[in-house]
């Protein structure tokens, strides 16, 4: 006899890209929140601005960077100029010595020259 389906109230929605059994994914929730308008104020001038969430976050990041917060400065520069890559400088060529190659019990001689 087949197992009956669980009640609808306990079923997990299948094939939903924005939801898990424990709740919605964080990404879609953040996008929805950041689409809304936020009121922020400039700490120095007291000027209040209303803008979308993404712009408010960017403005706050720039303010932090201008106030000398090193992590904000690094984040801004990484986003604008790209992350700094460390170059490996090799002063001399390197050589690898291989052992003999043996085929059918006989060593194979070759010149790398």
Does a structural domain hold residue 5? Answer: no
- Return d(Cα 58, Cα 64) in angstroms, integer: 10
Does a structural domain hold residue 57? Answer: yes
Per the structure, the complete domain to which residue 26 belongs is given by 20-81
Does a structural domain hold residue 25? Answer: yes
| More confident call, 46 vs 66 | 66
Q: Could you tell me the two tokens for 25? A: 């994914």
Half-sphere exposure of 87 (CA within 13 A, CB side): 3
DSSP for residue 56: H
- Return d(Cα 85, Cα 62) in angstroms, integer: 23
Q: Could you tell me the two tokens for 80? A: 């604008």
Does a structural domain hold residue 51? Answer: yes
pTM (two decimals): 0.49
For the residues 18-24, what does the mean pLDDT come to? Answer: 63
Taking only the tens place, the pLDDT of each residue in 49-108 is 888 988 888 988 998 999 999 999 999 999 888 887 877 777 787 777 777 778 888 888
């Amino acid at each position: 006899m087949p197992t009956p389906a669980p009640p609808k109230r306990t079923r997990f929605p299948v094939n939903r890209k924005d939801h898990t059994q424990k709740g919605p994914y964080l990404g879609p929730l953040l996008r929805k929140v950041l689409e809304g308008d936020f009121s922020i104020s400039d700490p120095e001038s007291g000027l209040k601005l209303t803008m979308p969430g993404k712009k408010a976050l960017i403005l706050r990041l720039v303010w932090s960077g201008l106030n000398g917060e090193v992590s904000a400065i690094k984040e801004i520069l990484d986003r604008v100029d790209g992350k700094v890559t460390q170059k490996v400088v090799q002063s001399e060529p390197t050589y690898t010595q291989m052992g003999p190659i043996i085929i059918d019990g006989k060593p194979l001689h070759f010149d790398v020259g």
